[in-house]
Structure 1
């Protein structure tokens, strides 16, 4: 949807890379709310599902070719973004995740209000010299962010302890509580949904990109011990990603060792994850790092109990009192196996946790609260006045 250059309504530019998963979900939720509020919204990204869905919502979409990770192509990516910014002329730039945050801040250099939202810190995702470089950049680049938006208090604390001196605002992640609900199919729903399973066989569901961050390898290493205590248990891994083949090999190995080759299913990507949440007896996300993961919030909204690792945002996403049952240290298969088995063997506790979880998400993590908090922040950064027409601003790329 393209507007006339004389359209007085304000324009926000969301800059995103990656274009799938939780980052894309947050961008789309904000885009929808901001369009409804009467803003003009442009989404700049390298295409993919984010571009398609943003365009369907009515946003202007601009292609910005950029790799997921920094590399030799970064200077060209920044130059392309500079030209795009000259054309779009936003009043405010909201850059999402490490790569867009890096390129965006280099291109804008603070000349219009700029928000950077890490969605988990870049230096946690890598090791060695790369982590050192990432941390140095975050410390240096903070000068070009008018605000760093963290999705949890824990994520802010991580940044502050790492020496990133910035103006921080915490806006907890939210999800659409009218979309993610307990009601809906839990039986056979076709090839993309959960089918029949043996009577009484508990189902563990893990939803997330198949990558090191999400820790599916830790869950697979824990699985033989879960089976030893709960022999009929089933595990469904929902999603796709770069570690798919390695995880398939690991699953074949652990299943062969436990003589239960049929106990793990790789579902792949699905258009609608809700039937999997609703069919689950337990939803597990064994992440190595996060800002605040969306999958546990979605599962809780569907009335399902969750088990998560104690990474940034995890404690804050759980209702009070849940940590004793639903939180384990990251990267420890033994602790994870014990907690999974204990919950699978206690249906009354699972039912209680799921009910309390739904109420907690409704009161704390509704996406409408998130969108309003971001809107308040936008107004603050522009002096508390209505967002001005961006066409009256001078070029931000000279």
Structure 2
């Protein structure tokens, strides 16, 4: 079957351009894919440019970039919203060398000190967005925190948990704990496996699910984990199910989610689980501490000690307490709806775009 043609749009109709100049799928690319349709549903008039993006998104051709010299319909400037260095630099060339009527916005998710080159590029932006308060603390320029949101239409609780499990070929009589994302050391997949090897022998009603792909560079790492699982005799209870486009269905089948990352820029998986009504155990990296509520309004647990032992200890408390899991899951849904909707993210960005347009006027 032939694929659908790419949707190209006239730049004169577009107010915001979201460049994506990295072919390989990443968290940044995923953010663009999820956010742009919502922005356009809210009439924010956003188009993408670059490879590695779905054809249904509104695209601008590289051959049409000269049209950016013309002002957009109903406005005086366009916004070029970059999320990487390789997208900030072309924006600077278009604005400063070719004198196009553009305002440059950069979103940073990094939680480390920036290089001199990155600092220089950021200093030339008209506005800077941080995806969390932790990220904001690493920036040396004025910035606005706009946290990522979740698509609550896609990520939502299962109407029937048992049916959700059965539809994926999972045993409905078992409870399931999941770890989703790329299989690699940075993502802490080995920490999850080690914790499950410790926990599952004494919890016969639980099965662990690892969903995600190991790229060529990390295949030996994945093989080592599978060998360790086989050596423990748990190959039927620690399942490597690969990468799935319907990952939202897999969240709905879970009873507990663990985000075991050693490092993360922002990290959407806890939000995706919470929106699906699943409590979360996460390491204290990325924005996880800002996403997960602990204490009286608990939606999960944040681990300050990143080790299999602390992960197993925290998981055991939730695995062995069904009422605590259910209550945390209910509060997780309420928290994501109230604070982390993708519509809220889109509106937060639009306020920045509008401010830049007014300043130019």
Question: If the length of structure 1 is used for normalisation, what is the TM-score?
Answer: 0.75
Which structure 2 residues correspond to residues 1-398 of structure 1 after superposition, within 5 A? 1-4=7-10, 7=12, 9-16=13-20, 17=22, 20-47=25-52, 51-52=53-54, 55-57=55-57, 59-62=58-61, 85-86=65-66, 88=68, 91-96=78-83, 98-101=84-87, 103-104=89-90, 107-108=93-94, 112-121=102-111, 135-157=115-137, 159-160=138-139, 165-184=140-159, 186-187=161-162, 194-197=168-171, 199=173, 201-242=174-215, 245-321=219-295, 326-329=301-304, 331-383=306-358
Distance in 2 (CA, whole Å) between partners of 1:293 and 1:117 is: 15
Alignment partners' CA distance in 2, 1:212 and 1:264: 18
For 1:238 and 1:61, the matched residues in 2 are separated by 34
- Quote how far apart the aligned CAs of 1:238 are: 1.3
CA contact (8 A) 1:15 1:104 kept: no
Equivalent residue number for residue 73 of structure 1:
none
Q: Structure 1 residues 330, 101: CA separation in 2 closer, same or farther (over 3 Å shift)? A: farther
> 1:327: Cα distance to partner?
0.8
Residues 30 and 384 (structure 1), Cα distance of their counterparts in 2 relative to 1, 3 Å cut: farther
Give 1:153 shift. 0.8
Return closer, same or farther for 1:105/1:167 CA change in 2, 3 Å cut-off: farther
Shift of 1:99: 4.7
In 1, the alpha carbon distance for the partners of 2:342 and 2:231 equals: 43
Structure 2: tracts of 5 or more residues without a match: 1-6, 70-76
Give the 3-state SS of the residue equivalent to 1:60 in structure 2. coil
1-side partners of 2:175 and 2:315: how far apart? 11
Give the unaligned 5+ runs of structure 1: 64-82, 125-133, 387-398
Q: Distance in 2 between matches of 1:4 and 1:23?
A: 25
Q: CA deviation at 1:240?
A: 1.4
Farther-moved stretch of structure 1 (169-178 vs 106-115) = 106-115
SS of aligned partner of 2:336: helix
| Separation of aligned partners in 1, 2:245 and 2:154 | 13
* 1:320-346 Cα distance to aligned partner (Å, 9 max, x none): 526795111364222112112221111
CA distance in 2, matches of 1:308, 1:190: 23
TM-score, normalization: structure 2? 0.82
Whole-Å separation in 1 of the counterparts to 2:30 and 2:277? 20
Superposed CA deviations along residues 119-144 of structure 1, whole A, max 9, x for unmatched, are: 334x58xxxxxxxxx62322222212
Larger relative contact order (C-alpha < 8 A, sep ≥ 6)?
A: 1
Cα gap change, 1:37 to 1:356, in 2 (>3 Å): closer
SS at match of 1:297: helix
RMSD: 3.0
Q: 1:381 to 1:198 in 2, by over 3 A?
A: closer
Distance 1:105 1:340, change over 3 A: farther
